Structure 1
Amino acid sequence: MSTVTEQPTPESGGLAPDPAVTPVRTAGTRKLPVVLGAITVLLALRLLLTSRSGDTTFRLATDSDFVTLPDIVVPAVATAWVMLVVCLALTAEAVRRMLAHVRQPMWLPIAFAVAWMVGFLGWEAAGSRIQVVSLLGGAISLAIPLVFGALGGVLGERAGVVNIAIDGQLLFGAFAAAVTASLTGSLWAGLVAAMVAGALIALVLGLFAITYFVDQVIVGVVLNVLVVGMTNFLFRQVLTPNADSLNSPERFRAVPLPVLGDIPLIGPILFRQTALVYVLYAVVALVAFALYRTRWGLRVRAVGEHPKAADTVGIKVNRTRYRTILLAGAIAGMGGAYFSLVSVAGFNREMTGGAGYIALAAVIFGKWDPIRATLAALLFGFASNLQGVLSAIGSDIPSQFMLMLPYLVTIFAVAGLVGRSRPPAADGVPYKSQ
């Protein structure tokens, strides 16, 4: 007679059946095969409805590498069809696990994504060359605001405050960074100003959501609209007539790190970036460490999971929430500086393009964990960079579809790959002190 063992799980805070003994029925178990099947069909249709010939070259090196890696040359047609078969096999494995009510492992969608992308790029770049360093390095650059925004979202929601206002924090941060850097001539002063701007939006969010118990989702949406209107007005009435003095900052330039930047493949991708990327590396590590390894992080997670219990042991719930969302807003504001100090030199109207909402999707996709949310943001950054790569190699995919690509990836990722995802128990619930 079999026995079901019980194990504590950090997500539930209680006891759960051992998945090795008891069948696991989760949303991800059912949704993943559907999403993988749909994406496989799209690749199959692409191969069947178009024709290609020649070889595809994947270039792994740059001219300044310490050791030059050889190019990988593959037959475009054969590679695409082989990768399609691999995708079909992985989809079949996902279906088998669904029918057996077995949890879908993380390696399965990762392996599928790699196989699908190799097949797709191999087909699209037939007779051409894919610069792998540019593809991956550009993805990191484009993911900068998404990662900063996602980290801000994770901190806010871990403390129990839904931060829909990420896009407003990014946009106001971009505005403040451009103006301050133009006036002072210092990019770092612009970055600090972006942090202050993001924290100000977070303060308004906290005032209504924490102090006056207004619905947090509504407040976040209103703040986004308010910032769009305010920055549009200031851009038209103030920045445009005084562009030379108020909207002409310098840009962060790439700063290769000695030795690390010369490592083949990895060096050009990770260590030949702008200073803002290196700041991002440090912020991700600090947030992940502080959230799980410090007393402060324990208190933040406590007020997000069970604020009444936290209050009972002497933790000031609303004070902790205020401090956390201010920090979260400052981090998100740093992401806004990317738009006006890295992407382009200066501020423009609505230049974030809804990046805050994609960052919010990364928070959900990453299950409210800073490392997972960072990886999710990198995925969305890769999708954004992919449209530029496809245009560069002359792909005949309609430009309108390529503009949709980052958002389609976001929908597929959140809808099909999240699986069981539980936010902090008190997320979005205002706390009234006894």
Structure 2
Amino acid sequence: MSLTLNLPQPDGHLARYTLSAREAWGAPAEPAFNRIAYSAAHVVADPLAPIDPWLQCAIDWDCTIACRQRLWRMGLGVAEAMDTAQRGMGLDWPTSLELIARSLDAARDVPGARVASGCGTDQLAPDAAHGVDDVIRAYEEQMAAIEKLGGRLILMASRALARVARGPDDYLQVYGRLLRQAREPVILHWLGDMFDPALAGYWGSADVDRAMDTALAVIGANPAQVDGIKISLLDKGREIAMRRRLPPGVRMYTGDDFNYAELIAGDGVGSAPTQRQSDALLGIFDAIAPAASAALAALATHDRSRFHAILAPTVPLSRHIFKAPTRFYKTGVVFMAWINGHQDHFAMVGGQQSTRSLPHLAELLRLADEAGLIEQPELAARRMRHLLGLHGVDA
């Protein structure tokens, strides 16, 4: 099969492009890392379910769990039921809890598999939260359900809390209450409003530096109950500044899908090892898993040159996937899974495959090829040709 395609350009014209057929990155057979690395994993929709996709959720459970098993084999942990899994964008709380249960059950068969599960307040109807007590009860309900399954918690940023909080003190009250009762240390979650506009002003201030002070106050009051904090602000300077202020032993989990390579590598500045480098909890690791695994393995042997050589070409791809409107990045992640044969279709929960344009996906294919992330070039060409045909393009 020809690897040459007619791909649409941003100006609407078509241009010939030939996939390179270069050997794709492969994960080490027995990966060992000196960073903790979670991939926020996507879910695979069931395209044959007789539902209304914008209103209802149907998951292909076998394929969804197979995606997680692939990540574990590569040495990556799974951050479950997070925004990459379309939490709050098609994935509701009952389905999220079933996803968490199935993922935890599957992980028991994989030595060393890590799972941390998203705990939020998304079961609250938009008009049901009248104050912080309602938010606390919603968090506690999800905490109890996840901990009953044996799961570790990621305390997700709450749209309800952002809506009802009157200032930093409300955040201190909510998180203090939750952290004191958590069974084991949790990962906090700070998602910028570029990922979710409903989270604007999180931690009680639209000023990011003041918001950071509040988040650090929460951690400082409960350091033994915080494993780390994941921040997704797409601002490496602020992540580094916060990392240096964390209590010793509390990890910074980078959620910066623009600058992850240099943040994970670290700068060596800080009195504690966890202040000098970032661990990872990244949606892009779902899309670039083989390269991420190979790079992290190289870093663990102190081969920083190879680490950067592997990840550098993935950064333009990630910046493209996460370009504004950033909240639509999940479409690119699922597109990558489809192009590479990890699922049989390009349908998404909530019909979200429609959130990116054909030129956007064409550029994504080119960038993936340049980064060594096309695992089966003939399959990728065939599937892209089919997608082009559905849009009226003679490929």
Task: Point out the structure with the larger helix share.
Answer: 1
**Structure with the higher strand share, 1 or 2:** 2
User: Which has the higher relative contact order, 1 or 2, with Cα contacts under 8 A spaced 6 or more apart?
Assistant: 1
Normalising by the smaller structure, the TM-score range is under 0.3
Length-normalised TM-score, structure 2 = 0.28
TM-score by length of 1: 0.26
Larger Rg: 1
